Amino acid sequence: MNNFKTSTKSDKIKVLNVAEKPSVARSIANVLSKDHRIEETKSPFNKLFKLDYRLKDVEVEMWITSVTGHLKSLKYPQKYQSWEKWDPIIILKEAEIENNISTDKQNLELNLKNFASICNRLILWLDCDREGENIAFEVMEVCREANPNIQVNRAHFSAVTYVDVRRALDTLKYPDQNLSNSVIARQEIDLRIGASFTRFQTLLLQKQFNLSSIVSYGPCQIPTLGFVVQRQKEIDSFVKEQFWFIQSEDDQKCIYNWDRTHLFDEFIVALLFERCYQESATVINVQQKDVQKWKPYPLCTIEFEKLASKKLRISAHKAMELAERLYNKGYISYPRTETNKFPPTINLQTIIRDQQNHPVWGEYATNLLNFAFEYPKAGNKDDKAHPPIHPVKMMIENEAQNKQEWDVYQLITRHFLACCSKNAKGSETTITLQINDETFSKSGLVIKEKNYLEIYIYEEWSQSQVPNYQQGDSIKIKLTLQKGSTSPPKPMTEAELIGLMDKNGIGTDATIHEHINTIQDREYATKRGQIIKPTKIGLALVESYEILGFTLHQPFLRAVMEQRMNEVALGKKEKSQIVQATINEMTIILKQLQEKQNLIIKTFGSYLEALKNYDEDNDNDDNNNQPRIPLDEGEETTQNQPKANKKTRNQRNKKSDELPKNSILPPSICQFCNSLCVTNKQLNGKLIQICPKLCQIQEDINQNGHHQSTQNKDNCFQCNLCQNFMKIRYSKIKKTNFLGCSSYPQCNQAIFLPDTVKSIKLIDKKCTKCGSPLFSLQFNENYNQVHQASFFCLFPGCQFIIKTDWKQNKDSNQTSFVGKQQNKVENTGKYPFNPHQQNKNFYNKEKSNNQQKFPYQKN
């Protein structure tokens, strides 16, 4: 029996208005008339508001109701339920997919059908984004089933304020099929890839390694994990590097910073120290300038989550839960918004006025209204649907359900008040000292007006004093030679991860926190405090992708997908075209994973075994700097460059360009940069020539004046990507040597050798053809060596006895690759999923004769 009742007495034209959520329906009703009537519907949350309105000079009865997000959802039919029975390739490529109204949305469907059958017109008030446009089509379809003649329009609004809603009604448009299609394409791609890859991975690994969770794959969750793993690898491969610097201190204990900061070469610093050492300095400049500390941008969801995590120590997921609760209780505006600028139609003064009686910040709010108000800065993000998060009703501390709820309300309100305040203002004084050819400086700050900092307790601006010197003063100084060392990258915080996801387009404002939750649910990562670290399962999974040459954990996979969605949204491509293309590409990858399944098990297992104590270590020590991951480096971890030292020596020591040119002995010319070198005598009596740009790190000069290079004996030849040196490395997983770039992990360049080669050794001979150093090779015991040569050149392409090539760089369109000689691959750069897919590399020897056609190869 139909228990729905609504009055249909009026003869006026009835216009059905449908919003994406109950709150928007309520706001539209409020904005259009305070006299609206509220009726219950079949869905307890989704009320029906009725009011009389004059629409384009016609008196109409507006019926305003809502849905709650999507009505429909994609699903595989029942017959595909069994994971074991169906090849994941079928699930990915061929299985049909149903798009039906979800069971929990059937009441809403009945509502819409009921209302539409009575109404003459339908106005779609779904959020003005792609998802909203798709929901608009879902609503329209249902309404048209009940009333095929219903006249349909789309309202475009940038905020639910009187002005915006009226404007939207005056300029009604039509829904955009292209935008909606891009969402359907995304849904299908996500489901097909997610379901098929998850089934494949779970069936392959779960039982084998006794894992308690499924081994899911999703185009957002795995790149999220990828970020976490990448950071951990950087920390684990970090090697401390020492640096030296000169410190100067005056008799007021004020320490001045060396303008060269620090250098990584003790000789140079010692030399400079010796040259500038004295007990007085000249004040060459005293500069005073006004400075400001900028107030924050209006609060969008992403920023709110980051702040909650960083400043309140509340996880993004929990913070969203608390914000939603505050929103439902009417204390704050809608918390899922991408917008960080206030629409001009919102009345900020009214919002501030609501806080005037607050016991904590009432006085501050009053001051803002009276004299201190300044319009908020405008950010550059706008979802056209919701304003930035702001308070809509005053809450005092004891009205909050708990401390966390209060903290979140407080953050949102203080942030809002800060946005409506002036920047903090101060005065900065910088003193510059000259001591011979070296300069040192020190800045001090005096805060003149705190302004927004009075209310925004989450930021600090610390004052510091500098002595009262005048330009030209000569002051007493104490110079010391100091030593320091680089520190490892910091562990990944949740706030940083959110930032990375946002920047790389992984997830949306409404889902980012869910993906972070998912990787924890799947036991890929753990969170302690605000620090997120991968578990051994997460590491093993990502490292297996990496080592087998797949880029499934990289963010660009999603970025490419987004780009394709845009093409559909703009009407440049058909949705079927891009679904087909993406699925075809992913089919190739899934087939390769299937072909390599034994190898995957082996690789994943090796990592799990190597990392068996990893999680325990995690609990004991946050950051002990010890390599824990088998980084494919074995004993060679000392070769890795720390993140801080990513720049080359030349770049790091750029200021050394200005070194004085005179030196102890007649200088020579640097063979790399033609600079005049400086000479110094070591304790053992040897003379050292040093290029001021540090091109030549050290050159021994024997007394006859001949140069003898002391460059690292392990260096092979220069990497073609970063110009650092390739080195012999040892892969624990494959138990063989390979050549890897010394800048790993910043540079991933590598040259792998045939399985038949067990180890390689650099010898003191040069290739007569290309000048690279030669290697002696040890072959596997069971390998019947046919090569006549004793020594081999491994420089890519130099000789054909041992075929080598540069590994393809995933970020470039280079056509080189790891492996044996094969047809040149043409990479259109169109879809950079798996750069190795046609590279039947030496891990995959058994398949090497069975070459597939590369999908991007022309003809």
Write out the residues near DNA by the rule CB under 7 A: 20-23, 45, 68-70, 73-76, 80-84, 91, 102, 104-105, 127, 129, 131, 186-187, 190-191, 193-195, 198-199, 202-203, 206, 214, 216-222, 324, 328, 336, 507-511, 515, 518
Locate the DSSP E strands across 229-279. 242-250, 255-258
Closer Cβ to DNA, 265 or 383, answer by number: 383
Q: Name residues whose C-beta falls within 8 Å of residue 712's C-beta, 6 or more positions apart in sequence.
A: 725
The distance of closest approach from Cβ of residue 247 to DNA in the complex, given in angstroms and rounded to an integer, is: 50
The distance of closest approach from Cβ of residue 544 to DNA in the complex, given in angstroms and rounded to an integer, is: 18
Query: Which residue, among 553, 565, 497, has the nearest Cα to 129 in the 3D structure?
Result: 565
Closer Cβ to DNA, 198 or 640, answer by number: 198
The distance of closest approach from Cβ of residue 317 to DNA in the complex, given in angstroms and rounded to an integer, is: 12
Closer Cβ to DNA, 350 or 402, answer by number: 402
CA distances from 637 to 604, 606, 660, 727 (A): 21, 19, 37, 11
The distance of closest approach from Cβ of residue 214 to DNA in the complex, given in angstroms and rounded to an integer, is: 5
The distance of closest approach from Cβ of residue 22 to DNA in the complex, given in angstroms and rounded to an integer, is: 5
The distance of closest approach from Cβ of residue 782 to DNA in the complex, given in angstroms and rounded to an integer, is: 39
Closer Cβ to DNA, 91 or 659, answer by number: 91
Q: Name residues whose C-beta falls within 8 Å of residue 552's C-beta, 6 or more positions apart in sequence.
A: 197, 217, 222, 545, 589, 833
Coil, strand or helix: which one is 96?
coil
The distance of closest approach from Cβ of residue 103 to DNA in the complex, given in angstroms and rounded to an integer, is: 11
Closer Cβ to DNA, 133 or 636, answer by number: 133
d(CA 793, CA 649): 28
Q: What DSSP letter does each residue of 648-707 carry, written as one string?
A: -HHHHTGGGGG--S--SS---B-TTT-PBPEEEE-TTS-EEEE-TT-SSS-EEE-TTS-E
Closer Cβ to DNA, 221 or 309, answer by number: 221
Instruction: State which amino acid sits at residue 477.
Output: I
d(CA 613, CA 232): 15
The distance of closest approach from Cβ of residue 793 to DNA in the complex, given in angstroms and rounded to an integer, is: 46
Instruction: Let me know if 174 is a catalytic residue.
Output: no
Closer Cβ to DNA, 23 or 641, answer by number: 23
CA distances from 470 to 257, 282, 430 (A): 18, 10, 11
> In 644-667, which positions are buried (b, 16+ CB within 10 angstroms) versus exposed (e)?
bbeeebeebbeebeebeeebeeeb
Closer Cβ to DNA, 70 or 422, answer by number: 70
Catalytic residue among 297, 334, 545, 843: 334
The distance of closest approach from Cβ of residue 545 to DNA in the complex, given in angstroms and rounded to an integer, is: 15
d(CA 623, CA 603): 26
Is residue 403 within 8 A of residue 314, CB to CB? The reply is: no
d(CA 498, CA 508): 10
Is residue 234 within 8 A of residue 745, CB to CB? The reply is: yes
Closer Cβ to DNA, 508 or 742, answer by number: 508
Enumerate the β-bridge partners of residue 822. none
- Whole-number CA gyration radius for the chain: 33
Phi, psi of 600 (to 5 degrees): -65, -45
Show contacts of 29-34: CB within 8 Å, 24+ apart: 29/62, 29/64, 31/160, 31/161, 31/162, 31/165, 31/166, 32/62, 32/64, 32/165
Closer Cβ to DNA, 198 or 743, answer by number: 198
DSSP H or E run through 583:
helix 575-595
DSSP at 299:
B
Question: Judging by DSSP bridges, how do beta strands 121-125 and 13-19 pair with one another?
Answer: parallel
Closer Cβ to DNA, 101 or 372, answer by number: 101
Coil, strand or helix: which one is 434?
strand
Query: Which residue, among 102, 116, 22, 34, has the nearest Cα to 68 in the 3D structure?
Result: 22
**Cα angle 734-737-742, degrees, rounded to a multiple of 5:** 115
d(CA 387, CA 336): 9
Residue ranges of alpha helices (H) inside 477-573 are 494-504, 512-521, 536-547, 556-569
The distance of closest approach from Cβ of residue 406 to DNA in the complex, given in angstroms and rounded to an integer, is: 20
The distance of closest approach from Cβ of residue 318 to DNA in the complex, given in angstroms and rounded to an integer, is: 15
- Known catalytic residues? 334
